[in-house]
Amino acid sequence: MANYSPYFIAPIFSLILALLLWQLYPSLYSTSYFKWGILFFLCVSGLNVYGTLLAGWSSNSKYALLGSLRAIAQTISYEVSMALVLLFPLFLVGSFSFFEVGESQESIWLSFLMLPVSFIWFVTCVAETNRAPFDFAEGESELVSGFNIEYGSAGFALIFLAEYANILVMSLFSSILFFGGSYMFFFESDIMFMLKILFFAFLFIWVRGSYPRFRYDLLMTLTWKGFLPAALSFLLLIFSLIYFMY
């Protein structure tokens, strides 16, 4: 009883979006860079929700539909705080390029300057990628398997390839934005960059093994009543400092 066209398109669409973000990888050996990479990242990550929506709606299952509706509300909510947190490195560096943001941290990492903001960013990344303890789109105890319940074999594999590709790409951006990318206290190394990405990927797994699943209302309260006011307050403070300095 599924709607076949969107049912088969959804996993492919999710994986394509996840792989598109890897174009922003700022290798030292790249021949070209995205000048507006952060805008491209926001545009593509905003489309991620449509893969989950298509998968849940087209499956024609109550569990799948409930899971996808939860995921949509969660992703849209946390995208607001994620976009606001992204403004902090932009204000300090003055560029939309991931390469220039990483390059500007040659002497000091932005995480040292903005520790609470980097913590908000990481929690937002966990929520954006639907990982535990924020995995409400596929809550096994409530929705059996959530939005992907009707998928098997290749479709199921593509959905999880997209999910883990998103985890690695968010680890990549966390490393660039707050931990200097390939720079490590005046030294430049792609190996160090890889180790930072793997460290953040490990943190995703560590958080999954350490914390139980949140209540859904607490998750939404955290972003709308916690992260959003905090991010706006910090932005106002930085904007005031920049205004009075110049």
Rounded CA-CA distance 243/35 in Å is 26
State the pLDDT at residue 200.
92
pTM: 0.87
Give 142's pLDDT tier (boundaries 50, 70, 90).
low
Kindly report which listed range (39-43, 86-90, 115-119, 139-143) carries the lowest average pLDDT score: 139-143
Burial class (CB in 10 A: 0-12, 13-18, 19+), 145: middle
Using alpha carbons only, give the angle 123, 109, 102 rounded to the nearest 5 degrees. Answer: 90
Nearest residue to 148 via CA among 1, 7, 3, 33: 7
- Quick check: 102 and 180 in contact, CB under 8 A? yes
Residues 165-220 pLDDT 10s: 999 999 999 988 888 766 665 456 778 888 888 999 999 989 988 888 878 888 88
Residue 147 scores a pLDDT above 90: no
Residues 74-87 pLDDT 10s: 888 888 889 999 88
Residues 2-52 pLDDT 10s: 678 888 888 899 999 999 998 888 776 666 677 888 899 999 988 988 888
Q: Which residues share a beta bridge with 183?
A: 188
Residue 43 CB neighbour total at 10 angstroms: 11
- Mean of the pLDDT values across residues 143-170? 85
- Quick check: 132 and 208 in contact, CB under 8 A? yes
Residue 140 scores a pLDDT above 80: no
Residue 141 scores a pLDDT above 80: no
State the pLDDT at residue 201.
92
Residues 216-241 pLDDT 10s: 888 889 899 999 999 898 888 888 88
Question: How is the chain split into domains, by residue range?
Answer: 4-245
